Amino acid sequence: MVDTKEQFEKIISLCRDLFEKKLHDYGPSWRIMRPQSVTDQIFIKANRIRSLETKGVSLVGEGIVPEFIAIVNYGIIGLIQLSLGYAETTDISAPDALKLYDKHMTETKELMYAKNHDYDEAWRSMRVSSYTDLILMKIYRTKQIESNAGQTLVSEGIDANYMDMVNYALFGLIKLKFGE
């Protein structure tokens, strides 16, 4: 029997570990990024995944797993930036950044668990390439909402789109690590 929560926790731990190591190396330098720049960074990662899926070869020697991890971590950074606003400098400590990461990851994970219940784990029957396409679609939606100064008539906001991108990337990582 598949333990979805255990798989999610293992993958989230992998993403958090890399986030923490990069935080050590670079500090919270991402604090200067405006949300639009975070969205563009996620676009770069998702576009590279799609390119690798289409071409089937990487000339840089890295596969799609690091890119999905980056989407998870930049998605959480995006949520942090939306909640705090961007800064002119690195205005938080590494421990505070990790606390914010954990807070936003927990909220995102809880949303995923609720949706997973309602959709009855339909994501397990999907292809990894579909997660890539869904992430790209969410990016274009987010860019449109950003162009509309964050205003929507009937749609979820930027934060919900970041959460969905994180969860689709987590789905991809689970499928790549644990298989069907």
Q: How far apart are the C-alpha atoms of 41 and 7, rounded to whole Å?
A: 26
Residues 6+ apart with CB under 8 A from 16: 98, 101, 102, 105
Q: How far apart are the C-alpha atoms of 70 and 6, rounded to whole Å?
A: 21
Alpha helices in 85-127 (DSSP H): 94-119
Give Cα separations from 65 to 12, 89, 130, 169 (angstroms): 13, 30, 15, 9
The pLDDT tens digits of the residues spanning 73-107 come to 999 999 999 999 999 999 999 999 999 999 999 99
* Unique residue bearing structure tokens 């579909």: 130
Residue 1 in this model has a pLDDT that exceeds 70: no
Do residues 139 and 39 lie in contact, with contact meaning Cβ atoms separated by under 8 Å? yes
Do residues 142 and 84 lie in contact, with contact meaning Cβ atoms separated by under 8 Å? no
Q: How far apart are the C-alpha atoms of 122 and 117, rounded to whole Å?
A: 10
Residue 145 in this model has a pLDDT that exceeds 90: yes
Do residues 101 and 80 lie in contact, with contact meaning Cβ atoms separated by under 8 Å? yes
Do residues 76 and 166 lie in contact, with contact meaning Cβ atoms separated by under 8 Å? yes
The pLDDT tens digits of the residues spanning 27-78 come to 999 999 999 999 999 999 999 999 999 988 777 777 899 999 999 999 999 9
Burial-class residue 154 by CB neighbours within 10 Å (0-12, 13-18, 19+): exposed
Do residues 42 and 132 lie in contact, with contact meaning Cβ atoms separated by under 8 Å? no
Q: Which of 40, 46, 51, 130 is nearest to 77 (CA)?
A: 40
Q: How far apart are the C-alpha atoms of 32 and 125, rounded to whole Å?
A: 39
E-strand ranges in the chain read: none
DSSP single-letter state for residue 120: T
Task: Say which range, 5-9, 45-49, 53-57, 137-141, has the weakest mean pLDDT.
Answer: 53-57
